Amino acid sequence: MVLFGWIGSKIEQKLIHFIILASMDVGEAAYDSGWEDAEPSVKQTVCIIMVRAQKPAIIRGGQFYITNLETVSAVSIVST
């Protein structure tokens, strides 16, 4: 039973790490989308996406803690 809990914890850490890293790539992908030649409304939308993507995603663990890339990395280093 302990083994399943440990495996689940490792999978959860990897998934959270992946989600946060992927959220950091959104702005770059929007910038590389060729938006410069688009209609003004599309340009505005892409600019909003790029501005909002400057802040990396966080994942809340209920109302008790916030998980971000730094905390996930710290937990991964300590648990290995």
Domains: count for the chain: 1
> Rounded mean pLDDT of the chain?
74
Tell me what pLDDT residue 1 has: 46
Dump pLDDT digits (tens) for 32-45.
Answer: 999 899 999 999 99
Q: What is the span of the domain harbouring residue 46?
A: 2-79
- Please say whether the dihedral angle defined by the alpha carbons of residues 76, 71, 68 and 35, taken in this order, is positive or negative: negative
Low-confidence ranges of the chain (pLDDT < 50): 1-4
